[in-house]
């Protein structure tokens, strides 16, 4: 919603004609005045009568969204009327069905009595009493039918009333919207005039400076160059005068538009908005009073219809009250005041300051490039602490993609993807892994691209997924001379290896421990499909050994380190459950 504070500057009153849009602002204002007068006159009279209502109205003009609160209250009031219409219509149907059923029973009973045998002495006292009782039921049935007709008339009248008041509410809302739209259009024309004024002023300023510099430089020129000085100086002065005239004309147009915009705003906030608020306030009070009247009429009619049947509805002992008294307790004014007090606390205040500066909001993609969250080459604990994750998202997403699409691919993790696509996928993960969607990524058509970027990530971790201290304590159980195919038959030695590896993993910090557990759980799923993918624990060890346990920088020992790492990876995969259960 627009603010009530005027734009800075004090200028002459309304201008009626100009070439830059000021007359358009005046036409908009005059047109809105004529539209508002007809709409608000219907509910303004009698709506600013009481002091409490005037006080509430003044408070609402100071609240941003005050009109919206009142319109919402009017919608609630009309909604209550609609609920009453449905109730009265259903109640009328019930009473009609009950009256017709009671009338049918009474007529059948009278018919049976007419067909019955009579004593020689005439109608007995018992028969006479029974006939009078049935006649009473006929009267009761007639009363119920009349009551049903009354309820139907009340529901139809209330329904038509709601339709009429909804039309009035809609017109009031549209009137306020037209004013807001007119003010916004005035802002647009004002901004155009300001831009034109500033551009003309800049051009004028440029020519003034250029002309002044030409005079200073020209005073030192002599000889053959001096004879052309006069014509150039005159041209600059002429252009400067023309630019000055344009700047002044644009300035006057801008001032007129600024004056008219502020006048339009003052007229809306000080005159038209209070009128609209008063109209809506009157509408709310009228609707709620009419609903109260309708409910009171229903209560009175209902009590009158059933009072002869029983004293339950309106006790005569004074222990409780009847429906008329209950409806009489309705205080619409107290309800409205309570609603306004509650809603006004949650509403904001009108901003009377100047129009604020609006900061440009970059797209999500641009924000990613401006503030990336790199993961390649970043220590594992550092990136997990930064991103608030327990396991790297790249490991989770790549593992899920492989488990969904690549478990039966022969040579999974052994084959390499396309280098260009792996690099592009790496770039996406290095911006922000959270926004990478492998389910809809074109790079996942070849699952080897996913496995390639995951191996690259593990390989480029500064300390690898296993810290140096734990790496050394784990590698001491293996040597490059160990064979991939030899199974350790010494149960004691096997138990020592399992216990030693479990101790090393347990001593890792939580980020490393969670990552290692997730990685080997994923590789265990991969080897479970070795019948199809040909990736046994041995093959996975050969592939992931250099990635999980980076080899030494010494070329002489690099091959031995890779072999030792592969043997260890194979052993962990073959005994994964025992190792991690001991962790």
How much is the pLDDT for 188?
93
Give the C-alpha distances (Å, rounded to integers) separating 135 from 14, 303, 337, 380, 474: 81, 22, 52, 95, 104
Question: Assign residue 377 a region: left if phi > 0, alpha if psi is -120 to 50, beta otherwise?
Answer: left
- Distance (Å, whole) CA 269 – CA 44: 16
pLDDT > 80? residue 21: no
How much is the pLDDT for 131?
74
Mean pLDDT of the chain: 78
Do 295 and 424 fall into the same domain?
no
- Taking the complete model, does pTM exceed 0.85, yes or no? no
pLDDT > 80? residue 555: no
Dump pLDDT digits (tens) for 51-84. Answer: 445 444 446 777 878 888 888 888 898 899 999 9
Closest CA to 82 of 171, 173, 158, 157: 158
Structural tokens at position 273 = 């908005």
Structural tokens at position 403 = 């488990």
CATH of the domain at 36: 1.20.1270.60
- In this prediction, residue 227 has a pLDDT band, given cuts at 50, 70 and 90, of very low
Paired with 122 in beta bridges are 119
Do 305 and 402 fall into the same domain?
no
Instruction: Characterize 211-226 residue by residue with b for buried, 16 or more Cβ atoms within 10 angstroms of its Cβ, and e for exposed.
Output: beebeeeeeeeeeeee
Q: Is residue 431 part of a domain?
A: yes
Three-class DSSP category at 389: coil
- Distance (Å, whole) CA 266 – CA 55: 20
Average confidence (pLDDT) over 502-519: 93
Average confidence (pLDDT) over 237-264: 89
How much is the pLDDT for 464?
86
Q: Is residue 336 part of a domain?
A: yes
Do 380 and 471 fall into the same domain?
yes
Do 325 and 472 fall into the same domain?
no
Do 161 and 242 fall into the same domain?
yes
Dump pLDDT digits (tens) for 120-158. Answer: 345 666 767 677 677 767 777 888 888 899 999 999 999
Do 152 and 276 fall into the same domain?
yes
CATH of the domain at 573: 1.10.555.10
In sign, the C-alpha dihedral spanning 7, 11, 15, 19 is negative
Q: How many Å from the N-terminal Cα to the C-terminal Cα in the chain? A: 61
How much is the pLDDT for 330?
46
Range in 7-16, 42-51, 64-73, 498-507 the model is least confident about: 7-16
pLDDT > 50? residue 119: no
Average confidence (pLDDT) over 93-98: 90
Q: Is residue 267 part of a domain?
A: yes
- What's 372's DSSP letter? -
- In this prediction, residue 338 has a pLDDT band, given cuts at 50, 70 and 90, of low
Instruction: Characterize 118-153 residue by residue with b for buried, 16 or more Cβ atoms within 10 angstroms of its Cβ, and e for exposed.
Output: eeeeeeeeeeeeeeeebeebbebbebbbebbebbbe
Do 321 and 380 fall into the same domain?
no
Dump pLDDT digits (tens) for 366-422. Answer: 666 667 889 999 999 999 999 899 999 999 999 999 999 999 999 999 998 899 999
Average confidence (pLDDT) over 108-127: 66
End residue of a domain, out of 311, 346, 381: 346
CB 409 within 8 A of CB 447: yes
- In this prediction, residue 109 has a pLDDT band, given cuts at 50, 70 and 90, of confident
Dump pLDDT digits (tens) for 301-325. Answer: 888 877 756 543 344 666 654 434 5
- Distance (Å, whole) CA 560 – CA 568: 12
- Distance (Å, whole) CA 40 – CA 179: 14
Longest dimension (CA), the chain: 157
Do 388 and 531 fall into the same domain?
yes
Strands (E), 319-438: none
Do 568 and 532 fall into the same domain?
yes
Q: Is residue 550 part of a domain?
A: yes
- The residue whose two tokens read 């204002």 is 29
Range of the domain at 301: 22-172+191-219+227-346
How much is the pLDDT for 479?
79
CB 463 within 8 A of CB 379: yes
Number of folded domains that form the chain: 2
Dump pLDDT digits (tens) for 143-198. Answer: 888 889 999 999 999 999 999 999 998 998 898 889 889 889 988 999 999 999 99
- What's 434's DSSP letter? G
Q: Is residue 4 part of a domain?
A: no
Do 489 and 556 fall into the same domain?
yes
Structural tokens at position 180 = 């807001």
Give the C-alpha distances (Å, rounded to integers) separating 93 from 40, 71, 81, 391: 39, 33, 18, 66
Question: Assign residue 279 a region: left if phi > 0, alpha if psi is -120 to 50, beta otherwise?
Answer: alpha
Q: Is residue 184 part of a domain?
A: no
In the chain, the percentage of residues whose pLDDT exceeds 70 is 73
pLDDT > 90? residue 362: no
CB 92 within 8 A of CB 152: yes
Q: Is residue 364 part of a domain?
A: no
Q: Is residue 512 part of a domain?
A: yes
How much is the pLDDT for 487?
52
Cβ atoms within 10 Å, residue 509: 12
Range in 265-269, 346-350, 390-394, 526-530 the model is least confident about: 346-350
Do 306 and 384 fall into the same domain?
no
Do 496 and 440 fall into the same domain?
yes
């Amino acid at each position: 919603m627009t603010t009530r504070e005027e734009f800075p500057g004090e200028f002459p009153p309304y201008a009626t004609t100009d070439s830059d849009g000021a007359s358009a602002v005046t036409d908009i204002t005059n047109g809105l005045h004529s539209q508002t007068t007809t709409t608000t006159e219907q509910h303004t009279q009698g709506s600013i009568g009481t002091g409490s209502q005037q006080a509430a109205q003044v408070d609402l003009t100071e609240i941003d969204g005050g009109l919206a609160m009142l319109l919402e209250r009017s919608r609630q009031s009309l909604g209550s009327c609609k609920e009453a219409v449905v109730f009265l219509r259903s109640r009328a149907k019930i009473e009609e069905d009950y009256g017709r059923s009671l009338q049918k029973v009474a007529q059948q009973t009278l018919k049976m009595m007419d067909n019955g045998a009579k004593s020689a002495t005439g109608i007995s006292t018992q028969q006479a009493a029974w006939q009078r009782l049935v006649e009473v039921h006929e009267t009761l049935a007639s009363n119920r039918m009349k009551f049903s007709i009354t309820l139907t008339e009340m529901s139809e009248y209330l329904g038509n009333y709601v339709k009429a008041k909804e039309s009035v509410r809609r017109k009031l809302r549209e009137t306020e919207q037209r004013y807001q739209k007119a003010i916004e259009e005035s802002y647009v024309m004002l901004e155009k005039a300001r831009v034109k004024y500033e551009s003309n002023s800049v051009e004028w300023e440029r020519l003034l400076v250029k002309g002044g510099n030409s005079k200073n430089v020209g005073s030192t020129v002599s000889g053959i160059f001096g004879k052309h000085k006069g014509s150039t100086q005159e041209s600059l002065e002429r252009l400067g005068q023309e630019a000055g005239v344009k700047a002044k004309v644009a300035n006057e147009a801008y001032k007129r538009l600024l004056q008219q915009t502020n006048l339009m705003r003052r007229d809306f906030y000080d005159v038209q908005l209070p009128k609209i608020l008063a109209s809506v306030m009157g509408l709310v009070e009228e609707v709620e009073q009419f609903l109260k009247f309708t409910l009171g009429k229903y209560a009175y009619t209902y009590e009158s219809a059933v009072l002869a049947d029983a004293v339950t509805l309106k006790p005569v002992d004074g222990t409780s009250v009847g429906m008329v008294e209950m409806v009489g307790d309705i205080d619409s004014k107290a309800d409205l005041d309570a609603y306004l007090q509650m809603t006004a606390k949650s509403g904001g205040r009108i901003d009377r300051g100047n129009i604020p500066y609006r900061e440009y909001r970059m797209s999500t993609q641009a924000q990613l490039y401006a503030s990336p969250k790199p993961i390649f080459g970043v220590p594992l604990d550092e990136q997990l602490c930064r991103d608030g994750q327990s396991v790297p998202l790249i490991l989770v997403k790549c593992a899920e993609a492989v488990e969904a699409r690549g478990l039966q691919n022969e040579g999974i993790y052994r084959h390499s993807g396309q280098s260009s696509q792996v690099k592009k996928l790496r770039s996406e993960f290095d911006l922000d892994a959270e926004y990478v969607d492998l389910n809809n990524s074109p790079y996942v058509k070849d699952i080897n691209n996913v496995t390639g970027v995951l191996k690259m990530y593990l390989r480029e971790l500064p300390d690898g997924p296993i810290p140096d201290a734990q790496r050394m304590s784990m590698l001491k159980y293996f040597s490059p001379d160990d064979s991939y195919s030899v199974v350790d038959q010494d149960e004691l030695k096997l138990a020592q290896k399992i216990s030693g590896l479990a101790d090393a993993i347990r001593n890792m910090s939580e980020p490393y421990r969670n990552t290692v557990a997730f990685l080997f759980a994923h590789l265990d799923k991969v080897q479970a499909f070795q019948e199809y993918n040909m990736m046994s624990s041995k093959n996975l060890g050969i592939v992931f050994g250099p990635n999980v346990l980076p080899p030494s920088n010494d070329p002489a020992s690099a091959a031995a380190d890779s072999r030792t790492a592969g043997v260890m990876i194979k052993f962990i995969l073959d005994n994964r459950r025992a190792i991690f259960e001991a962790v």
